[in-house]
């Protein structure tokens, strides 16, 4: 730029820029005038404006800030429109990883809730059908009690009872066959752990969802102790003299008691029959053995097997039942069956031998052994596991299994000792007194089978499925709240930031315009 020399303060020489609008004073630091002419005027930090055109630094700075503010505004709009603070991995890699894991867990928990709700629906379907089976069984028991009233009934009445009983059996079979949820049969035995026992006195009872499917040859059953019953035998024969003297007998079983007194003139046979009747009417699980009719020796035995069943007796005559007059004697309890299944330890309860909890293969497997002698090779039991499995959690292994037993008449009331040799509800014939009597015991067992299944389903619904639904919903709520903290945008904060960026954007655009205007002013020197 052209320079003009001026006298400076203190006698020093200075130069002033001769360019339009520039009056910068430049100390003469070089003697070479040509070098001074090559100087460009520069701004100082005191505010002297640069006149460089080839690199508009001010405009570049303003443009950079415009871009930054614009990018921030776009990010604000993205967050405001999506409602999320983290939209891409670049927004927060660590938080994104945690958030996505939580989202997968939330999705799994919601599906687990739906699974449990469907499980409740299935259980309610099965329980509703079992309720009707229970009603039919109650009516069938009433028919059996009516058929036992042989003192009044004639053949036509008994035949009518048997006909109605047979129709009820068909109804139970129809319910067991037709009850289904979707395409799944529920009560026909196909949705449980089913088994078949092979061996004298060996019967398959049930299996749990934890019981494993057996090999083709089945699980071997070894019996080391056969089940026995509590029994008591008098030492003094019941004769006519004792009867005429007015013998007093007391029999107590599980809190139920009868007080029996003989009547003068009754025979030994009539006295024993009356004693049997009163025991039966009082629902004592005690029977008078028929051998008592032979010699007058009273022999009483508990109906049920095992160590949990016993009874007590007393007699006014020493030896008729109790050893001393009017002193109660306790019958020695019976023994539970003992043995192993597939070489694994099993627990005995009466005639029932059950696989111990924790057994690798036979946990929950139950078989009945009715033999009177121990046998190391009692037989085998073949098991097919097909229990219903519900996924009740969001992770692998969080399942619940339920086994539904076969509710057909041929599978109800099994394992009951009776003189008519009825094997199940399906075999019952009410057309004779003994058959009607045995029918009552078998129907009672069938009612117990049905109500036990209903109780298991009710416990599953209330304590497992419904409780699980409540727990999962709380977990979903907490998980969603946690994920929201990580990923959702603070709308108030984002709106404030967006407004700020709008203001900055407008300001930056204005500054950029001024920076560009300065460059145009310099260029105008070239055209002046």
Lowest mean pLDDT among 6-20, 66-80, 341-355, 440-454: 6-20
- Residue 284 exposed, middle or buried by CB count within 10 Å (0-12, 13-18, 19+): buried
Q: Does residue 146 have a pLDDT over 50? A: yes
Question: Architecture of domain 96-191+390-488 in CATH?
Answer: Up-down Bundle (1.20)
Find the mean pLDDT for residues 300-307. Answer: 93
Provide the pLDDT for residue 29. Answer: 41
Q: Which of 362, 335, 339 is nearest to 350 (CA)?
A: 335
Find the mean pLDDT for residues 44-70. Answer: 66
C-alpha 299, offset from chain centre = 50
At 262, is the pLDDT very low, low, confident or very high (cuts 50, 70, 90)? very high
Provide the pLDDT for residue 18. Answer: 47
Q: What is the mean pLDDT of the chain?
A: 85
Measured distance CA(242)–CA(467) in Å, rounded: 64
**Could you give the 3-state DSSP secondary structure of residue 184?**
strand
Lowest mean pLDDT among 74-78, 198-202, 262-266: 74-78
- Beta-bridged to residue 339, according to DSSP, are 223
Close Cβ partners of 460 (under 8 Å, ≥ 6 residues apart): 123, 400, 402
Helix (H) or strand (E) segment spanning residue 487:
helix 467-487
Measured distance CA(179)–CA(129) in Å, rounded: 7
Lowest mean pLDDT among 37-51, 74-88, 446-460, 491-505: 37-51
Provide the pLDDT for residue 363. Answer: 93
Is-contact 102 486, C-beta < 8 A?
Answer: yes
Provide the pLDDT for residue 52. Answer: 56
At 26, is the pLDDT very low, low, confident or very high (cuts 50, 70, 90)? very low
Find the mean pLDDT for residues 292-306. Answer: 93
Task: Label the pairing between strands 219-225 and 338-341.
Answer: antiparallel
**Could you give the 3-state DSSP secondary structure of residue 423?**
coil
Q: For the chain, which residues make up each domain, given as ranges? A: 1-49, 52-83+489-528, 96-191+390-488, 231-330
pTM, 2 dp: 0.64
Provide the pLDDT for residue 55. Answer: 65
Provide the pLDDT for residue 147. Answer: 93
Structure tokens at 254: 């599980």
Task: Label the pairing between strands 184-185 and 248-253.
Answer: unpaired
At 53, is the pLDDT very low, low, confident or very high (cuts 50, 70, 90)? low
DSSP output for 197-244: EESTTEEEEE--TTPPPPPTT-EEEEEEE-----EEE-SS---HHHHH
Is-contact 312 283, C-beta < 8 A?
Answer: no
Measured distance CA(304)–CA(324) in Å, rounded: 27
Percent of the chain with pLDDT strictly greater than 90: 55
Q: Does residue 159 have a pLDDT over 50? A: yes
Q: Does residue 9 have a pLDDT over 70? A: no
Query: Mind listing the pLDDT tens digit for each residue in 411-455?
Result: 899 878 788 889 899 999 999 999 999 999 999 999 998 999 999
At 206, is the pLDDT very low, low, confident or very high (cuts 50, 70, 90)? confident
How many C-beta neighbours within 10 Å does residue 26 have? 16
Task: Label the pairing between strands 231-233 and 299-302.
Answer: antiparallel
Provide the pLDDT for residue 528. Answer: 57
Query: Mind listing the pLDDT tens digit for each residue in 117-144?
Result: 999 999 999 999 999 999 999 999 999 9
At 2, is the pLDDT very low, low, confident or very high (cuts 50, 70, 90)? very low
Count of residues in the chain: 528
Q: Which of 90, 126, 147, 167 is nearest to 402 (CA)?
A: 126
- For 499, list phi and psi in degrees, rounded to 5: -65, -45
Identify the DSSP state of 327: -
At 7, is the pLDDT very low, low, confident or very high (cuts 50, 70, 90)? low
Structure tokens at 448: 């117990």
Provide the pLDDT for residue 235. Answer: 92
Provide the pLDDT for residue 142. Answer: 95
For residue 1, the number of C-alpha atoms closer than 13 Å in the C-beta half-sphere is: 23
Measured distance CA(10)–CA(337) in Å, rounded: 129
Find the mean pLDDT for residues 496-523. Answer: 78
**Angle at CA of residue 23, ends 17 and 24, nearest 5°:** 70
Lowest mean pLDDT among 36-40, 218-222, 289-293, 466-470: 36-40
State in words which class domain 231-330 has.
mainly beta
Measured distance CA(168)–CA(164) in Å, rounded: 6
H helices of 239-333, in order, are 240-244, 268-281, 292-295
Lowest mean pLDDT among 82-91, 311-320, 381-390: 82-91
Q: Which of 51, 104, 146 is nearest to 395 (CA)?
A: 104
């Amino acid at each position: 730029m052209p320079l003009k020399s001026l006298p400076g303060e203190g006698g020093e020489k200075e130069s002033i820029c001769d360019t339009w609008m520039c009056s910068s004073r430049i100390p003469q630091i070089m003697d070479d005038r040509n070098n001074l002419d090559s100087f460009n005027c520069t701004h100082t930090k005191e505010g002297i404006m640069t006149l460089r055109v080839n690199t508009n630094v001010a405009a570049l700075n303003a443009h950079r800030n415009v871009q930054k503010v614009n990018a921030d505004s776009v990010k604000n709009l993205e967050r405001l429109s999506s409602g999320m603070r983290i939209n891409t991995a670049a927004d927060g890699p660590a938080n994104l990883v945690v958030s996505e894991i939580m989202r997968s867990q939330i999705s799994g928990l919601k599906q687990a809730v739906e699974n449990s709700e469907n499980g409740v629906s299935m259980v309610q379907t099965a329980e509703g059908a079992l309720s009707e089976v229970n009603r039919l069984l109650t009516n069938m028991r009433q028919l059996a009690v009516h058929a036992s009233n042989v003192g009044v009934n004639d053949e036509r009445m008994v035949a009518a009872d048997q006909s109605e009983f047979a129709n009820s059996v068909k109804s139970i079979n129809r319910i067991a066959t037709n009850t289904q949820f979707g395409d799944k049969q529920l009560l026909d035995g196909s949705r449980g752990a089913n088994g078949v026992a092979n061996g004298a006195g060996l019967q398959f009872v049930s299996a749990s969802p934890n019981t494993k499917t057996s090999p083709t040859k089945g699980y071997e059953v070894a019996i080391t102790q056969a089940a026995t019953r509590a029994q008591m035998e008098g030492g003094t024969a019941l004769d006519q003299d004792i009867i005429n003297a007015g013998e007093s007998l007391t029999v107590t079983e599980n809190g139920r008691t009868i007080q029996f007194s003989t009547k003068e003139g009754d025979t030994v046979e009539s006295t024993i029959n009356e004693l049997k009747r009163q025991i039966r009417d009082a629902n004592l699980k005690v029977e008078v053995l028929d051998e008592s009719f032979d010699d007058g020796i009273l022999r009483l035995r508990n109906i049920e097997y095992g160590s949990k069943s016993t009874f007590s007796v007393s007699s006014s005559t020493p030896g008729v039942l109790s050893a001393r007059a009017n002193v109660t004697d306790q019958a020695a309890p019976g023994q539970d069956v003992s043995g192993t299944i597939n070489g694994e330890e099993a627990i005995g309860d009466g005639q029932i031998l059950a696989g111990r909890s924790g057994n690798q293969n036979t946990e929950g497997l139950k078989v009945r052994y009715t033999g009177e002698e121990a046998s190391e090779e009692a037989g085998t039991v073949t098991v097919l596991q097909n229990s219903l499995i519900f996924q009740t959690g969001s992770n692998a292994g969080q399942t619940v299994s339920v086994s539904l037993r076969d509710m057909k008449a041929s599978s109800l009331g099994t394992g009951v000792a009776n003189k008519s040799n009825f094997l199940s509800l399906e075999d019952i014939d009410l057309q004779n007194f003994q058959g009607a009597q045995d029918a009552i015991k078998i129907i009672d067992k069938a009612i117990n089978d049905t109500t036990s299944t209903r109780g298991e389903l009710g416990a599953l619904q209330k304590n497992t499925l419904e409780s699980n639904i409540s727990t999962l919903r709380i977990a979903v709520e907490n998980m969603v709240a946690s994920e929201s903290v990580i990923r959702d945008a603070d709308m108030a904060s984002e709106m404030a930031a967006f407004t700020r960026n709008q203001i900055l954007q407008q300001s930056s655009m204005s500054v950029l315009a001024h920076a560009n205007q300065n460059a145009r002013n310099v260029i105008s020197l070239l055209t002046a």
